[in-house]
Amino acid sequence: MGVYIDNQLEYVVNGTSMNTTLTLTPGKHNAVVQEWDYCGGATGTAVPINVAMQSGVWVTSPANNTTVSPLTSYVATATTSCAQGVAAMGIYVNNLLVYQVAGAKLNTELTLTPGTANTVVEEWDNCGGATATAVKLNVAGTSLTKLQTDAWQSVGQEAPLDEDCPYPCAGETWSMTRGITSPSLSGDAAEFSLGGTKPYSDVLFYNQLIGTASTQGLPDSSHTLIPTLHNFVYSTDVYVADVSAAQALEFDINMFLNGVGMTFGTECRVAGGNEWDVWDNVNARWVATGVACNPISNAWNQVTVAVERDANNNLIFQSITLNGKTAVLNKTYPPFTVPASWYGVVCDFQMDGNYQQEAYNAYLDNTMLTYW
């Protein structure tokens, strides 16, 4: 026996009885239930159906009660009985609205804190109604949070060879100030500044998280943690009053062990094309990704970088997310050689000066690295 919906065979079962459920779109449908016998004959019964519009949220990903990585994809659609349609959809994580989009479709990636996450995908219609679907998740990994509150180290990098220069460098100034309440999302942001007179001078701020000089109490002296790590997600909110003052803003993850260096460098190239670049370790050069990078001035921008170290220590740049829009990269580059004494996981934030070394400030908040 089988079921046709609008002349399309949707379901077949062997035997003389049938009991199933089919999902149909709202509106009128021509349904036919048919049987085929062993003599080559067939009979059918037409069943006209009018499917009423229902209010509901249909979550395709992630599945309820599953274990997910910290960078989790949400895909969902919504329907409503409201004649004016769905106005917007949003995602709550542990009772906090973290994402919202206009319309009846939702497709984004969120960075979730490891542990249990009680999430809800909700729709709001244009008649004042709302419906929601709960999605409970177990999030893998370990997160190091509020990294902007740590005492980051810094070094200047002066053009044309980007040679490291400890403070103060001739023609370049920089600073870091913690405990900033405005602008801030958490009430505890950090202010980073770059200035001077020498064009195209940069400053690299770095936080040694795991291994040598760990700021997190994770020296890993026995070398048992870092060798097990293969996945990293660097997430932060960044605010610049005038983004055009920056040549580029850089967000990096570094990993060093057994004489192997892996710099997962990701750069939002503001001047010269507003494009994301990734770092080629062996050839020491930036490679354009073709993905646009247009941070908003005088506003908080959410940046998430997801990377992976494979079994041969190759670097896989998985994806970059800016303000809820994710670009999947899946670009692979080999590592480079470092002194055997280098051991650790480090995150960086770099500010690049433009052609006139225009002074500007950048603020980081909710800075987090998740690893597993």
Q: What is the pLDDT of residues 102-133, one digit of tens each?
A: 999 999 989 898 999 999 999 999 999 999 99
Spatial distance between the Cα atoms of 53 and 79, rounded to a whole number of angstroms: 7
Contact 143, 359 (CB under 8 A): no
- Overall average pLDDT of the 74-93 stretch: 95
Answer yes or no: is pLDDT of 160 > 80.
no
Q: What is the DSSP letter of 274?
A: S
Q: Which residues of 131-147 are buried (b: 16+ CB within 10 A; e: fewer)?
A: bbbebebebebebbeeb
Residue 89 banded pLDDT, cuts 50, 70, 90: very high
Residue 161 banded pLDDT, cuts 50, 70, 90: low
Give start and end residues of each alpha helix (H) in 199-356: none
Strands (E), 103-258: 105-111, 115-125, 130-139, 142-144, 153-158, 163-165, 172-180, 189-196, 202-211, 231-240, 246-257
Lowest mean pLDDT among 169-173, 190-194, 286-290: 169-173
SS3 at position 227: helix
- Overall average pLDDT of the 296-310 stretch: 97
Here the tokens at position 232 are: 């990293």
- Overall average pLDDT of the 242-264 stretch: 98
Over pLDDT 70: what percentage of the chain?
99
Question: Distance between alpha carbon 196 and the CA centroid of its chain, in Å?
Answer: 33
What domains sit in the chain, N to C, each tagged with a CATH number? 2-51 (no CATH), 56-140 (2.60.40.10), 143-371 (2.60.120.260)
Mean model confidence pLDDT for the chain: 95
Residue 176 banded pLDDT, cuts 50, 70, 90: very high
Rg, C-alpha atoms of the chain: 26
Answer yes or no: is pLDDT of 168 > 90.
no
| pTM tops 0.85 | no
Return the bridge partners of 79, or none. Answer: 56
Question: Distance between alpha carbon 204 and the CA centroid of its chain, in Å?
Answer: 23
What tens digit of pLDDT does each residue of 128-149 get? 999 999 999 999 999 999 999 9
- Overall average pLDDT of the 299-313 stretch: 97
Spatial distance between the Cα atoms of 139 and 124, rounded to a whole number of angstroms: 27
361 C-beta neighbours (distance < 10 Å), count: 19
